[in-house]
């Protein structure tokens, strides 16, 4: 069994894989020895892979060494199930690469656009020849609310909690919600349209903590997966164990 850990800006997502199936998953604000101890007691974990956007490698490595788990840290020099054609691969977010690897499990020979709606909104594209070309990064949903408050003197901090959405805001709060929500929704749909005009038969896969807040025609032409990055990490782990 494999242990897969995605340490993001806000949450730490953990999954246990048996073959290609997730049999256990959790989400925490941080990772510590007690969490790994509980998982190790439940499952015969022998190897693990971690992707982290935080500077905590030494601390986490010590935890896994204590429990005798072979640990891989995702890095740009590892083998990936695609070729990376990016001018600065050393600056490329590893979680972006893992998300693409996860999407390729379902769509292995397609033009593929992966959209991750987390702290930031990332778009990542790999073509049908399995070449990763890059994408784009934009402020995430919550970040936009915070920016409006931070960079102005009078606009309030608005916390969106699935309030009724109005196209025409009838108060300052509702106007902010309308602007941020609709602005992001149509930004994403516009980006999808631009990719579809340039590439034929493109598959679109959506993930991230905020995608469920938006009506983006998921059932019709956009595929959604909560565990895309975790699936990708597991595939990268298998690929590098084999090599």
- Dihedral (Cα; 20, 24, 30, 34), 10-degree rounding: -120
List C-alpha distances in Å: 193 to 133, 196, 200, 221: 18, 5, 11, 12
Proportion of the chain above pLDDT 90, given as a percent: 69
- What is the average per-residue pLDDT within 162-186? 91
CATH class of 76-243: alpha beta
Tokens read off for 173: 């709060």
User: What residues have CB less than 8 Å from 63, skipping those under 6 apart?
Assistant: 31, 32, 33, 36
3-state secondary structure of 112: strand
- pLDDT tens for 8-31 read 878 899 999 998 899 999 999 988
C-alpha–C-alpha distance, residues 229 and 220, integer Å? 22
Give the Cβ contact number of residue 54 at 10 Å: 13
Whether 221 has a pLDDT exceeding 90, the answer reads no
Label residue 156 by pLDDT band (50, 70, 90).
Answer: very high
The helix (H) or strand (E) run that includes residue 19 is none
List C-alpha distances in Å: 120 to 24, 171, 179, 223, 233: 26, 27, 17, 19, 20
226 is catalytic: no
DSSP code at position 163? P
Is the domain covering 1-73 a CATH 3.30.420.40 domain? yes
The helix (H) or strand (E) run that includes residue 8 is none
Decide the pairing of beta strands 120-126 and 131-139: antiparallel
Whether 46 has a pLDDT exceeding 90, the answer reads no
Determine which one of 95, 116, 124, 225 is catalytic: 95
Tokens read off for 97: 């690469």
Whether 72 has a pLDDT exceeding 90, the answer reads yes
C-alpha–C-alpha distance, residues 173 and 160, integer Å? 10
pTM of the complete model: 0.89
- What is the average per-residue pLDDT within 146-173? 91
Domains 1-73 and 76-243 share a fold: yes
Whether 219 has a pLDDT exceeding 60, the answer reads no
Q: Where are the domains of the chain?
A: 1-73, 76-243
pLDDT of residue 222: 83
Tokens read off for 59: 């601390």
Lowest pLDDT segment from 54-63, 70-79, 104-113, 146-155:
54-63
Whether 220 has a pLDDT exceeding 60, the answer reads no
C-alpha–C-alpha distance, residues 30 and 119, integer Å? 16
- For residues 169 and 177, the answer to whether their CB atoms sit within 8 Å is yes
């Amino acid at each position: 069994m494999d242990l897969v850990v995605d340490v993001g800006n806000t949450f730490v997502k953990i999954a246990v894989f048996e073959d290609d199936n997730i049999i256990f998953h959790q989400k925490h604000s941080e990772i510590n020895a007690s969490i790994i101890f509980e998982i190790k007691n439940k499952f015969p974990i022998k190897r693990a892979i971690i992707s982290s956007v935080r500077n905590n490698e030494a601390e986490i490595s010590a935890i896994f060494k204590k429990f005798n788990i072979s640990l891989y840290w995702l890095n740009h020099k590892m083998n990936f199930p695609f070729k990376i054609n990016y001018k600065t691969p050393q600056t490329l977010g590893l979680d972006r690469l893992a998300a693409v690897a996860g999407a390729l499990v379902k769509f292995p020979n397609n033009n593929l656009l992966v959209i991750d709606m987390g702290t930031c909104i990332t778009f990542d594209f790999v073509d049908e020849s399995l070449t990763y070309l890059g994408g784009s990064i934009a402020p995430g949903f919550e970040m936009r609310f915070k920016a409006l408050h931070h960079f102005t003197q009078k606009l309030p901090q608005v916390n969106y909690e699935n309030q009724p959405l109005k196209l025409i805001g009838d108060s300052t709060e509702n106007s902010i919600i309308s602007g941020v929500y609709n602005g992001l929704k149509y930004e994403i749909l516009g980006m999808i349209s631009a990719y579809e005009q340039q590439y034929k038969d493109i598959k679109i896969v959506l993930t991230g903590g905020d995608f469920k807040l938006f009506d983006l025609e998921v059932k019709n032409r956009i595929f959604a997966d909560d565990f895309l990055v975790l699936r990708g990490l597991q595939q990268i782990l298998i690929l590098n164990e084999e090599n």
